[in-house]
Amino acid sequence: MAEVLTRRNTPQRRRHIVDFVHARGEASVDELAREFHTSEVTVRKDLAALETNGLLLRRYGGAVPIPKEMTESAPLLSQRKKAIAREAARHIRDHNRLIIDSGSTTAALIPWLEKSTGLVVMTNSLSVANQLRMLEREPTLLMTGGTWDPHSESFQGQIAEQVLKAYDFDQLFIGADGIDLHRGTTTFNELLSLSRVMADTSREVIVMAESEKAGRRIHNVELPWAAIDILVTDEELGDDAEKIIASHGVRVIRAAID
């Protein structure tokens, strides 16, 4: 048994960790490391990834199963985010240089980065950075630095912009508070310039946003459609809305919700 487990890859090991924790009711990091013949550092990364995907809950020194009442009340929105992240990840290639902006939808992309090698990822989000550090196949991590903005929970300002301008990126993954069908993506945040610098320094701009954000009336245009290459949303976006967005030269991908 032990010999077989050592040869299993990361997804297989994580599935067995979920089964093990559910069978025992709880498990410590030390116990899991012994059972699966791996290091405690690897186990902690496994548990972080499993928690991000809603499969386990981390507790001090270990993990427990997700309570039944939490799984039954899990919002559809989380399924939308997962579907959008799955579709967005299909555009990532090995050794790509990425920017991942702050936000819960863009953060849903992180577990999928395990499938690629040699990635370089820049972010202005401490949350995104911490989740990237938990990946077993950890990418090269770059931080913008700058001034901390508590509203967006990200770094902003001239220093962050100057750092970004010093690099060249293949792709930007960015969210949106709203989608104006005629103007572009919109935001409640008055700090717009960093998002535009992110777009300017990236060869391909991919917006990740749920369909319910289409038509929201928000006065701040974050990125005009001319700056966006792809919108990844969910299957609830209407045909008429898709046609209007596509008319601006944007490729629209509607992800199926599991």
Same domain, 169 and 143: yes
Same domain, 62 and 80: no
Same domain, 214 and 94: yes
Same domain, 15 and 57: yes
Q: How confident is the model at residue 71 (pLDDT cuts 50, 70, 90)?
A: low
Same domain, 97 and 190: yes
Same domain, 93 and 63: no
Picking from 233, 235, 159, the residue whose alpha carbon sits closest to that of residue 193 is 159
Same domain, 91 and 204: yes
pTM of the full structure: 0.78
Q: Phi and psi dihedrals of 91, rounded to 5?
A: -90, -5
Dump pLDDT digits (tens) for 185-200: 998 877 789 999 999 9
Q: Which two tokens stand for residue 18?
A: 């979920």
Same domain, 87 and 57: no
In this prediction, residue 68 carries a pLDDT of: 66
Give the CA distances from residue 196 to residues 117, 191, 227, 230, 248, in Å, rounded to whole numbers and listed in that order: 27, 10, 8, 15, 18
Boundary (domain end) residue, out of 35, 55, 72: 72
For a pLDDT cut of 90, what percent of the chain falls above it? 66
Q: What average pLDDT does the segment 84-110 reach?
A: 95
Let me know how many helices (H) and strands (E) the chain has, helices first: 11, 15
- What average pLDDT does the structure give for the chain? 89
Number of domains in the chain: 2
Boundary (domain end) residue, out of 43, 72, 101: 72
Q: How far apart are CA 171 and CA 169, in angstroms?
A: 6
Dump pLDDT digits (tens) for 140-180: 999 999 999 887 789 999 999 999 999 999 999 999 999 99
Same domain, 9 and 94: no
Q: Phi and psi dihedrals of 152, rounded to 5?
A: -95, -5
Same domain, 53 and 117: no
Same domain, 83 and 61: no
Q: Phi and psi dihedrals of 252, rounded to 5?
A: -105, 125
In this prediction, residue 49 carries a pLDDT of: 81
In this prediction, residue 196 carries a pLDDT of: 96
Same domain, 41 and 53: yes
Give the CA distances from residue 220 to residues 9, 191, 217, 223, in Å, rounded to whole numbers and listed in that order: 45, 9, 9, 9
In this prediction, residue 51 carries a pLDDT of: 81
What is the domain extent for residue 15? Answer: 2-72
Q: How confident is the model at residue 4 (pLDDT cuts 50, 70, 90)?
A: very low
